[in-house]
Amino acid sequence: MRYREATLDDAPLLAELNHQLIRDEGHRNSAIGILRDEMWPRDKRLLVEVLWHNMGAVRFWKAVGFEEYSLASEILPEVNKRL
């Protein structure tokens, strides 16, 4: 089996898996299991980036087995500084 990065053509499958995750909140590990078994190689490191203030996403990814890895910070140019 060969693996590749997702493309726009993968959007329907990924959307369906996301829909399943939302619909089956109590069975979220089944959709992640499908991804791990059929798409994501188990012998490769997987990294998911989540915005720090998106606590729902942070909780979701922790619940399916991901662990905190890093914290990235930035300084924006004055013209783009967030208020």
- Residues 10-69: tens digit of each pLDDT: 888 888 887 777 776 655 566 777 787 888 888 888 888 888 888 988 988 888 889 999
Report residue 15 as tokens: 């959307």
How many distinct structural domains can be found in the chain? Answer: 1
Is residue 2 situated within a structural domain? no
- 3 pLDDT higher than 60: yes
Is residue 22 situated within a structural domain? yes
Determine the structural domain holding residue 18 and report its residue range.
8-80
pLDDT the model gives residue 19: 76
Q: What is the pTM of this model?
A: 0.52
Is residue 51 situated within a structural domain? yes
Is residue 20 situated within a structural domain? yes
User: Exposure pattern of 9-44 as b/e (b: 16+ CB <10 Å)?
Assistant: eeeeeeeebeeebeeeeeeeeebbeeeeeeeeeeee
Is residue 58 situated within a structural domain? yes
